[in-house]
Structure formats: C-alpha cells, structure tokens
Structure 1
Amino acid sequence: MTIRFQEAMRLMRARDPQDREDGFHFLLPHAAEHVDRLIAEFTEERTDHGLRCWLLELIGHARSANALPILTEQLHADDDSLRFWAVRGLEQLDTKPARYELWKARANGLAL
C-alpha cells in the first residue's frame, strides 16, 4: 500500500469535511492503481455510509474488470445511494459483462 493511498484514506476518514473532500480528490486520479485496495476498504467499512459511497464511486472510476463483482453485488443493494454508484460504475466499465448485468437488472424490474 502506497503512502499516497494511506494518506488519502486517513483524510477520507477525518472529521473535517474539507479533509474528507481533499482525500477523495487526492485519490480520484489514482483509483485504477488502487482498485483492489479500494474494494477491500469498501468491504471492510461498515459504519460510514458516506465513505462507502465514495469508495464505490472510486471503484467505478477505476474502470477495472476486478470491480465487476462488487459493482454487481451493490447493483442489487437495498441502499439507493450504493445502487446509484454501482450503476455508474458499471456504465463506466462499459464491458460486455457490465452491460449484461445492467440489462439483467433492468429486465428483472430493478429501477435504475
């Protein structure tokens, strides 16, 4: 894990809203480099809903095939915010499997 990633995650967990924003935007252009760690952080985070949304947004922004399982899982989440970022992530991934998951969800009546 790089110092950049550690520092960004520390900032994203800070109490100060500006620090949180800074951490997110610091990591945004490097999301693809850290997609596996972002997925691990998302999976481990259980209490901070805003952080989970940001992590899922970063995971989608990475445009990595490694993100397909977590994005697909969150596509069917009860949480509308997480589902929103899962849809956006799958749209950004724009692979045949990602498009299939979106099609399947819509075909099964999931409002996206």
Structure 2
Amino acid sequence: MTKRFDEGMRLMRRKGEDREAGFSLVQRHAEEHLDELIEAFRAEGEGQNMRVLLLTLIGEARSPEALPILVEHLDHEDESIAGWAVQGLEMLDTKEARIALYRHRANNAHN
C-alpha cells in the first residue's frame, strides 16, 4: 500500500472533515487498491459506517474485479450497503453488471 492510501484509510476511521479527507485520498486511488479495499471491507465486521464507505470506494473503482462483492451485497439487510452495491454495479456498467441488476430488480419486483 502507498503512504497516501494508508493515510486515507486512517483518516476514514475518524469523524467529520478527517473522514471526508480520508475518503477523498483513497477515492483517487481506488482502482489501484481494489484488493486492499475488498480485504478491508471483509475485515471490517460491525463497523457499518466504514463498510458503507469502503463499498462505495469499491464501486467507484469501476473495475470488473469488483463485480462479485457488489453482487454479493445487493440483498444486504443494511439498505445503505445494498444501495451502494446497486450504485457500484450501475457505475461499472458492464454486461455482467447490467444482468446482475436486472435479475436483482426482477426478483425484488415479485417480493
């Protein structure tokens, strides 16, 4: 990991302007640190605020490698996480992402 990425992750664990500054630092390098973002997301546990930020960044990486984790969280019980999974797939905008969104919406239309 780069020093900027590490610093951004540290700041994201704080509140207020520090969290925003950290998010911006990591956001600029989300694609090149996608593996670390996914690892951090999976390791986060109960920290929902941090998980939402991390999933947002994973989606903003716009990388096909993010597809599995985004699809996995489409039906998450936390609406914020599910919502960012949807938005991440929309930003990815690949055939596979569109199919996953279509299936998700079709399944939820019948519930």
Q: TM-score, normalised to structure 2's length?
A: 0.93
- CA RMSD for the aligned pairs? 1.3
Match of 1:76 in 2: 75
Point out the more displaced range, 26-35 or 56-65: 26-35
1:110/1:42 CA distance change after superposition, 3 Å:
farther
Match of 2:10 in 1: 10
Amino acid paired to 1:105: H
Shift of 1:8: 0.6
Distance 2:6 2:46 in 1: 19
Amino acid paired to 1:9: M
Distance 2:86 2:46 in 1: 22
Match of 1:32 in 2: 31
Shift of 1:92: 0.4
In the TM superposition, what whole-angstrom CA distance separates every residue of 1:17-42 from its partner, at most 9, and x where no partner exists? 21111100111121111111101100
Shift of 1:70: 0.5
Percent identity for Structure 1 against Structure 2: 53
Distance 1:46 1:24 in 2: 19
5+ long unaligned stretches in structure 1:
none
Match of 1:90 in 2: 89
Distance 2:109 2:90 in 1: 15
Equivalent residue pairs, number: 110
5+ long unaligned stretches in structure 2:
none
1:48/1:29 CA distance change after superposition, 3 Å:
same
Amino acid paired to 1:45: E
